[in-house]
Structure 1
Amino acid sequence: MEESISMIILNYNSSSNTIRLAQDTLKICPLINIVIVDNNSKDEDIKKLELFGLTDIKIHLIKNNKNMGYAKGNNIGIKYAIDKLCSEYIIIANPDIEYNSKTIIINLVNELSSLNKDFACLTGIMLDCNKKVNLDRICWKLPGKISDFFANFRLLNKFFNPLRYHNLKMIADKNVITVDTIPGCFFIIRASAFQDINYFDEGTFLYCEERILAKKLANKNYKTGVLLSESFIHNHPKSNDFAKNLKLQNLLLKSRRYYNQNYNDSYKTNIFVKLILEFSFYGGQIENYLVYFCKKIKHYL
């Protein structure tokens, strides 16, 4: 079974985490394929990966000549795993995730393989860097017609989040819960399903890949789920770099706009919906700049 699995790790100046994750994975699944896709990291980072690649024939290093972002970078690794390694299952993993148990990969594969072929994608419960659960980040709903109007304004979204599941406790007695969207930092998917939906949409550089993937799977009547008996840790620290955070927040808005332009039928056919959402995209940017300047002023006081 392990020989049919490939893990794609997208690296960008994170060789230490990438190598650690690859080593941890090979310890618990020594026959799994590790495909490291480097998104044009610094020379010293690439050299570390090249040396690491010599330590095990199961490690495959692909070097991109520019930073292609999450979707396109991962697609390169996915296609390599399917075309060259004949993989039946693909694991997408960020370098900064850690396993909570030695059984997570095998249990995810076994559970997914036991389900009907229309069940395409599975993950575990995501914990934050303090090993705590944030229900909003385990899974979430696909956006409705104007859901992003509320999501684009951070203050408004704190009081009303239309993408939040409110009934997870009601279905927590099941081993696998069926949901719309799961985190893109760690999940397993059938290679056949990935091919069927034509992989990740490469129209975004960062953010919203999860919802686009979920929408494409749903359009083909595939199911996505969370295995409640397994969990993993996402060590994603918060940045205090105000300018970087501003750039990322605006990039998030750009990706949400792309989603609505391409996957929200109401945006494309209803002028009222389009105007409401366009207002929120620009309004969200204004809010981001206001937050940025307030934090800068507070920092210097």
Structure 2
Amino acid sequence: MVIRVIILNYNTVELTLQCVDYVLRQNESNFNIVVVDNGSLEECYQEIKLKLPASVNLIRFENNAGFAAGNNRGCGRIENLPDPDYYLFINSDAFLTEPGTIKTLSTALTNQSQAVAISPLVHTTSNSVPVRFQIQVRRILSPGWLVICHSPILRRLPFARQWHHHFIYRDLVPYSENIYPVESINGAVFMIRSDFLHHIGLLDEGTFLYLEEIVLGEQIRREGRICLLHGGVIVPHIQGATTGNQRGKLSKKSFNFFIDSEAYLLKKYHNYSNICLRIIRKMRLFEFFVKSIRIRFINL
């Protein structure tokens, strides 16, 4: 069994090097590492090229193509590397601090024939909530409920709160060390069967950033397969380090990426009309305005 670890680098030299170091400490003999530089500044690329261990493969692309397209660049045939049985995608700000993480995830995935992807518990380190109470993965809902559950306003209304809790698997919290069958993965760290990923044409590159987990979960559901969440493995994640977002602050650029991804998901996988998408976009802009005012008021 061969595992290819793919780490996407975008101007995060020190974090990427730290991520690689933790992977190498796994002391497994059946994996290789590919770092994809996704359009970093030239000086950042030259620095990581100089500092990466010789055993790590580095692929350079001039432009930042986004999360899905960037990770896809590490898949498929690469000279001098064996074709993998599994791909393990890791954000450069997530660290495999527990020995044996790769083996534990691959063993669990191998033992469940219906499953095609698996994630560990991802500990968002900036979150004061204990990791076993943090949001990990999401259910694949009907598009109407998905729109409501993505709304920071509507999901708090009495009629929607129960659905939002269902969406984020609140019924399983606190997570134990069990392995849970779930409907999506955690995009920060996940392993997927290579034959399945190539079967669906790799990660859907229609989104630049955000909702990749929901898109992949939708594809997996339509193929009649499932995902797994391994409660016995914890991976710390410095959320926002790769995107530049800070917890508790709003970024208009990131927000636009989100609504673009939402529109793509609804149009491609649920046949939403352009009129409906324009209405949803206007609703999201209003929500962004309200949330911005609220944050400003709190920070006064």
User: What TM-score do you get using the length of structure 2 for normalisation?
Assistant: 0.85
Indicate the larger mover: 221-230 or 61-70.
221-230
SS at match of 2:204: coil
| Alpha-carbon distance in 2 for matches of 1:107, 1:229 | 9
Contact 1:152 1:253 in 2 (8 A): no
| Alpha-carbon distance in 2 for matches of 1:283, 1:232 | 35
Could you list the per-position Cα deviations for residues 223-251 of structure 1 after superposition, in whole angstroms to 9, with x for gaps in the alignment? Answer: 10111211111111562796x61221232
Contact 2:121 2:132 in 1 (8 A): no
1:287–1:33 CA distance, 2 compared to 1 (3 A): same
- Structure 2 alignment gaps of length 5 or more: none
Indicate the larger mover: 283-292 or 172-181.
172-181
1:167–1:105 CA distance, 2 compared to 1 (3 A): same
Residue from 26, 46, 56 that aligns with 2:54? 56
% identical aligned pairs: 23
| Alpha-carbon distance in 2 for matches of 1:6, 1:82 | 13
Could you list the per-position Cα deviations for residues 180-211 of structure 1 after superposition, in whole angstroms to 9, with x for gaps in the alignment? Answer: 11211101111011011111111111011111
Indicate the larger mover: 80-89 or 120-129.
80-89
| Alpha-carbon distance in 1 for matches of 2:223, 2:27 | 31
Which amino acid in structure 1 is aligned with residue 286 of structure 2? I
| Alpha-carbon distance in 1 for matches of 2:110, 2:23 | 20
Tell me the equivalent position of 2:13: 15
Contact 1:39 1:64 in 2 (8 A): yes
Contact 1:250 1:288 in 2 (8 A): no
1:151–1:51 CA distance, 2 compared to 1 (3 A): same
Indicate the larger mover: 219-228 or 127-136.
127-136
Residue from 134, 148, 167 that aligns with 2:171? 167
| Alpha-carbon distance in 1 for matches of 2:150, 2:239 | 22
1:45-194 matched pairs, under 5 angstroms:
45-53=44-52, 55-57=53-55, 59-80=56-77, 84-116=81-113, 118-129=114-125, 132-133=130-131, 135=133, 137-159=135-157, 160=161, 161=164, 163-169=167-173, 175-194=178-197
Which structure has the highest helix share of the two? 1
Shift of 1:74: 0.5
SS at match of 1:204: coil
SS at match of 2:135: helix
Residue from 216, 221, 225 that aligns with 2:219? 216
Contact 1:82 1:191 in 2 (8 A): no
| Alpha-carbon distance in 2 for matches of 1:141, 1:46 | 37
Could you list the per-position Cα deviations for residues 86-132 of structure 1 after superposition, in whole angstroms to 9, with x for gaps in the alignment? Answer: 1111000001112341121111111112221x311011111120572
Which amino acid in structure 2 is aligned with residue 128 of structure 1? T
Tell me the equivalent position of 1:247: 253
1:285 and 2:285 equivalent? yes
| Alpha-carbon distance in 2 for matches of 1:157, 1:144 | 15
Could you list the per-position Cα deviations for residues 2-58 of structure 1 after superposition, in whole angstroms to 9, with x for gaps in the alignment? Answer: xx11111011000111111111111113532110001111122111221134x332x
1:82–1:261 CA distance, 2 compared to 1 (3 A): farther
Indicate the larger mover: 157-166 or 75-84.
75-84
1:204–1:211 CA distance, 2 compared to 1 (3 A): same
| Alpha-carbon distance in 1 for matches of 2:170, 2:295 | 32
User: What TM-score do you get using the length of structure 1 for normalisation?
Assistant: 0.85
SS at match of 1:79: coil
1:151–1:249 CA distance, 2 compared to 1 (3 A): farther
SS at match of 2:33: strand
| Alpha-carbon distance in 2 for matches of 1:203, 1:173 | 35
Contact 2:4 2:34 in 1 (8 A): yes
| Alpha-carbon distance in 2 for matches of 1:155, 1:182 | 25
Tell me the equivalent position of 1:202: 205
Spell out structure 1 runs of 4+ moving beyond 6 A: none
Residue from 263, 266, 274 that aligns with 2:269? 263
1:16–1:201 CA distance, 2 compared to 1 (3 A): same
Shift of 1:168: 1.2
1:255–1:130 CA distance, 2 compared to 1 (3 A): closer
| Alpha-carbon distance in 1 for matches of 2:9, 2:193 | 22
| Alpha-carbon distance in 2 for matches of 1:42, 1:199 | 26
